[in-house]
């Protein structure tokens, strides 16, 4: 596995930094501040609280995503229904225009000339 640096902002706004190679934890009071080495036990509670908050955020995002998906499906169904209604209306208008032309032509005595 390639060595990398992991940075996580905790619930209190502090930042925990760990290099996957040396496994040393650092904590800064805020992102961009000077990090100090810390013992894992010192920040374990904060890590768990942050994990709990992120888990709740993920659940909320999943619920929102499912709602949006349902709304999209509903919108697509409504679009298809409107498209069918418009096509039916166009067919009726075309038929009515053709029938109206016949009636007008007959009234003008032009029906037999075509």
Mean pLDDT per 10-residue interval, the chain, length 114 residues: 88 91 90 92 91 96 97 97 91 82 79 54
Q: Which of 33, 42, 39, 41 lies closest to 14, judged by CA?
A: 33
- Nearest-angstrom CA–CA distance, 91 and 101: 15
pTM greater than 0.75 (yes/no): no
% pLDDT > 90, the chain: 61
The pLDDT tens digits of the residues spanning 26-58 come to 999 999 999 999 998 889 999 999 999 999 999
């Amino acid at each position: 596995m390639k060595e990398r640096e992991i940075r996580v902002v905790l619930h209190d706004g502090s930042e925990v930094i760990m290099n996957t190679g040396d496994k040393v934890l650092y904590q800064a009071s805020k992102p961009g501040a000077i990090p100090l080495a810390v013992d894992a036990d010192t920040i374990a509670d904060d890590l768990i609280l942050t994990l709990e908050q992120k888990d709740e955020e993920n659940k909320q995002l999943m619920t929102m995503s499912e709602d949006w998906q349902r709304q999209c499906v509903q919108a697509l169904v409504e679009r298809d229904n409107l498209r069918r209604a418009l096509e039916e209306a166009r067919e009726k208008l075309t038929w009515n225009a053709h029938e109206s032309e016949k009636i007008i032509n007959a009234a003008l005595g032009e029906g037999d000339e075509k």
